[in-house]
Structure 1
Amino acid sequence: MKAAYITIHDKIKEQIDKGIWEIGQRLPSERDLADEFGVSRMTLRQGITLLVEEGVLQRKVGSGTYVASTRVQEKMRGTTSFTELVQLQGKTPSSKLLSYIKTKPNEKEISQLGLERGEYVIRMERVRYADTVPVVYEVASIPERLIKNVRKEEVTNHFFKTMTDNGYRIGKSHQTIYARLANEKVAKHLQIAKNQAILALRQVSYLEDGQAFEYVNSQYVGERFEFYLENN
């Protein structure tokens, strides 16, 4: 038998899915909702808190609880750039470059990118946005030989497009997703609380010939981004 707050969670989510409460709409007060569902305010609050944690609802201090805006979604199949993902959902992508350096690779970069000793990588650190809302903090490493004749702006603004424009054919990617807590630096850039739970993603992207061309460590705000699987 379901716990009472899980039942409330499911009922509210069902009403949102049916469009009874639309994106951005303010929900009735907790007292009114508790009366509507015939439960205590504590039970009602537990159900709402779970929906907030899932990113379905959003609390605004001094204002109330609202249906959250649609999150950016990434289908875990194939290789797609963040810019394309955001644009496909009708949002405007942008990014803030924090650092961009040519440097000797660390052991992880050598392993993941299949580099020879003596090669260099371009390592860039940035925050990426959807409609001015920070969604992901990422550190990307790229073999320097692949982009040594490419302008910095082309790499930082639309890297995947730049690769295809320069004759490279993009293939598959390997992705690992796990949970972690945001440290102080990441939390500041993503405008969230320190130690808030976030989604972390390690991804290696390959060209069609099997050559790795990008190794990325990304940290996503869970309530603003979600992954979903699609099988053939």
Structure 2
Amino acid sequence: MSVSRILLAFGLVAAMGACAPQPQPSQSLPDDQIAAQVYRHDGPPSLTLYTMVNNSNGSGAHTSLMVNASQRVIFDPAGSFRHPRIATKNDVVYGVTPVMEDTYTRFHARETFHVIVQQVEVSPEVAEEVLRRILVAGPVPRAQCALSTSSLLRDVPGLDGAIRTTWFPNQLADQFGSLPGATTQRLYEYDDADRFKALESFDPDRVKASRAAQDADKAE
């Protein structure tokens, strides 16, 4: 085997490890329960790419995509953001209110990982097309988070072919960041490395009250 093939094999192994969270119980809900959780955000149509990055070596650990269209959802392929109080079906997280979005990013950002948050405003037609593709994507096999997300975006009309398919979260982040008007932020948290401890006690009402109290303190 050539050196280049050996390096490629190691790279694919790393990518497969990146989107291979510990197994979680299925949270696939009936359609009527999903419909009850639909949330429509009043912000502009947009796409938000999340890339979870290992703080030790800089490798990409996970990719997910939020779309704000006729409803706001997160495509969390082979992800681990699952809880009985979170409406999910086929790797799609529904009801992404500001509180839910905040919880999602803070769930992934911790002592060992940070989150790159990249957002780009798009036309309503582009947002709706991406939403349609997400809703029919179906559950994604482990290790294919970046591949499934990049494949979904690759030929979306209006993105001008800027996204190419890739197995690697960091490569997808680089491509997404080159879209016209894209913004990039990095979220660092230093909570316990075990993110599931926070998710076990997830309570949207409690989180909302806590955030409101923090905002009030800052305003004083």
Shared fold (TM-score, shorter chain, > 0.5):
no
TM norm structure 1: 0.26
TM norm structure 2: 0.28
> Higher helix share goes to which structure?
2
Q: Which has the larger radius of gyration?
A: 1
